[in-house]
Amino acid sequence: MVTKRTTAVLLAVALVIAACSATADSTTSNPPSTVAHTTATQLSTTSTLVVTSTTSLPPTTTAPQTTTTTTTTTTLAPTTTAPPRPTTKPPTVKHTVEQLDFSNTPQMVAVKPGDTVIWVNNGLSAHDATSGADPTPDGAWASPVIQPGESWSRRFDTPGTYPYFCTLHPGGMPGRIVVEG
Ligand SMILES: [Cu+2]
């Protein structure tokens, strides 16, 4: 009697355990397969995003380099063009002394450093213009003989007073060039 009851209880317990283990297996095995699909989908989406971002980088890097080169070239051109203009501007100021028989007119000429004096012989005789006081040349400068109708010029750069005369005629036709500082 006791053995039959014990066997019945053991069978009942075995059935309960078997039922519980079967339920546990089915519950545990389903979720992992679902998770696996979700992960696969996420990976494929991520790989697509990486390819897209890599393709967009090269154009962004190339554009700034081209713009910088163009700006530098445009700025240099006007700066290089400006300097040559002042170099060609220095004006030449000329002063005329008329040589007659027998005087220089005007007798005194005031000039600025760098100016040029031109002696024009409008007389009937030949004359010259020689630095110094009649009758002694000082050797600073001297014109050749200036024939009637001809002229001769000299540039004066250093401030000072420069007397001159004509070596061909008595009295020397005295004149004076004053270079103002
Ligand atoms: Cu003379």
Q: What is the pLDDT of residues 80-107, one digit of tens each?
A: 566 666 667 678 899 999 999 999 999 9
Strands (E), the chain: 94-100, 103-105, 108-111, 115-121, 130-133, 136-142, 151-156, 160-165, 175-179
Residues lining ion ligand 1 (Cβ < 5 A) are: 127, 166, 168-169
Q: How far is the CA of 127 from the centre of ligand 1 (A)?
A: 4
Give, as one character, the DSSP assignment of residue 92: P
Helix, strand, coil % in the chain, rounded to nearest 5: 45, 30, 25
Question: What is the model's pTM?
Answer: 0.53
Nearest alpha-carbon partner for 171 in 111, 104, 121, 109? 104
Q: Tokens 């002696």 map to which residue?
A: 119
Tell me what pLDDT residue 156 has.
97
Amino acid 135 reads: P
Q: What's residue 102's pLDDT?
A: 97
For residue 129, the CA-to-ligand 1 centroid distance in Å is: 8
**pLDDT under 50 in the chain at which residues?**
1-2, 6-7, 9-11, 13, 15-16, 18-57, 60-62, 66-74
Q: What is the model's pLDDT at position 90?
A: 73
